[in-house]
Amino acid sequence: MLTLYHYVPVANGGKVLMALHEKGIAFDSRWIDLHTFQQHSPEYLAVNPEGQVPALMHDGVIITHTSVINEYLEDAFPDTPPLRPEEPLVAARMRQWNKYIDDYVMQAVSIHGWQNGAGKIARGYSDEAFEALMARIPLKQQQVKWRTARAGFPQEKLDECSQTIAEAVAKVEAQLAESGGPWLLGEMFTLADINFYAYCGGALATMFPRIGNRETCPLLLDWAARIEKRPGCARALATKAPA
Amino acid sequence: MLTLYHYVPVANGGKVLMALHEKGIAFDSRWIDLHTFQQHSPEYLAVNPEGQVPALMHDGVIITHTSVINEYLEDAFPDTPPLRPEEPLVAARMRQWNKYIDDYVMQAVSIHGWQNGAGKIARGYSDEAFEALMARIPLKQQQVKWRTARAGFPQEKLDECSQTIAEAVAKVEAQLAESGGPWLLGEMFTLADINFYAYCGGALATMFPRIGNRETCPLLLDWAARIEKRPGCARALATKAPA
């Protein structure tokens, strides 16, 4: 019995939803609304004491952190379509990409996301209501992030993140040229494709049109369109809040 | 044919050296002296364009980043003693620990290390010689780290890192109590033990005696002593610079 606690099918949530649907693994979907801070509710903290989504519950045991969850799905469901290469060297390349994406790209996109998304949410609360919400957040660094987003990140930090994103886009464009496509590592669609799409590639042209456009990264945009046509990914990306 | 480019057997270097010796995998050791900035020499940049150690060369192909290298050793040498649990859920727990150690603990210890180690090295060079060395560093964030270390990190940052280390020590102590030992995940010695020992557990009592002592973490100190008695780890930790 598998339950995924998640929010919208982009970034962290998209990453695990795409893997689950690509592998055709059945699961219960539990929507955790970040707009109303459900991730810090006592009910959800009983599921994941760190108060973060997504989290996967498998037979009553909780697994957290998207790259860990996605490798777990590979290990625990060996009879489903693989998203991790069998060949050790190609698996290592996939993990190098995942580390780069998790450590640099995700952070950089996330700060723009926090500035525009979480910042707006946070400014919608009075000082008192906001502080009450902060008091429920178990991870101190998450409190710092919410406070910074509410105040607004310095322009210098936002510029530095845009620069990181531009470098990542150039790197992926070069990799697609080198691998010959259709996917980052060549013939096989892997967790690295899912990872870059979820954090950056999918929203690139709308979130950062000056960085990601047909002049700067035609191969990347074609790659993103191919991902959206995959039945598993399309199903994941169509995930909606319960009515 | 396996070659490891590395420096002293602590932190990043220790992490891969311990895995190789524990698994009994034969390899050529190439010492890269960070004190004389050999990692940014043209010869080494031809091996690893990012100018970082350790790096593993296997049959002419380079693999970088310690957690990626150590998972690669598990995949590529399946007939050697395993350091990654077979059971998917235990492997996931190991990767959660590795992510926590790589993302938080390593960074926190590293900043104290940069302050005391790299800072001293950097201040040993004239401004002009230092700038010439900086110009050879391929990763911009590494240049920033060297410059900051030379100037000295702010006390507030150092205190924040000490706090992260104290939290990690408490977390590991609790985990050893919960698992019942002898290792982090119980009966099996894994990459998570190696990871925490290399970045924090091994040097804890000497680097941070107020955080790590017999009052605060007796189980952790016994665990570290057990690691040092393992023949593979002992061989790794005895690695010395060539005469």
Per DSSP bridges, beta strands B55-58 and B2-6 are antiparallel
Cα dihedral sign, B12-B13-B18-B24:
positive
Distance, in angstroms, between A190 CA and closest chain B CA? 16
Complex-level ipTM: 0.92
What's the pLDDT tens digit per position in B167-179?
999 999 999 999 9
Q: Rounded to an integer, what distance in angstroms lies between the CA atom of residue B57 and that of residue A93?
A: 13
Distances from the Cα of B41 to the Cαs of B38, B60, B152, B164, in angstroms?
5, 19, 25, 34
Query: Tens digits of per-residue pLDDT, A173-213?
Result: 999 999 998 999 999 999 999 999 999 999 999 999 999 99
Site of tokens 């057997």: B9
Contact criterion met (CB < 8 Å) for B65 and A99: yes
Q: Name the residue facing B99 among A68, A92, A96 (closest C-beta).
A: A68
The answer to whether the Cβ–Cβ distance between B88 and A72 falls below 8 Å is: yes
Q: Which residues of B touch A71 (CB under 8 A)?
A: 91-92, 95
pLDDT of B93-126, one tens digit each?
999 999 999 999 999 999 998 888 888 888 989 9
**Residue of chain B whose Cα is closest to the Cα of A70:** B92
pTM recorded for the entire structure: 0.93
Q: Which residues of B touch A91 (CB under 8 A)?
A: 71-72, 75
What is the rounded distance in angstroms from the CA atom of residue B51 to the CA atom of residue B39? 5
User: Over its length of 243 residues, how does chain B's per-residue pLDDT go in tens digits?
Assistant: 999 999 999 999 999 999 999 999 999 999 999 888 899 999 999 999 999 999 999 999 999 999 999 999 999 999 999 999 999 999 999 999 999 999 999 999 999 988 888 888 889 899 999 999 899 888 887 888 889 889 999 999 999 999 999 999 999 999 999 999 899 999 999 999 999 999 999 999 999 999 999 999 999 999 999 999 999 999 999 999 988
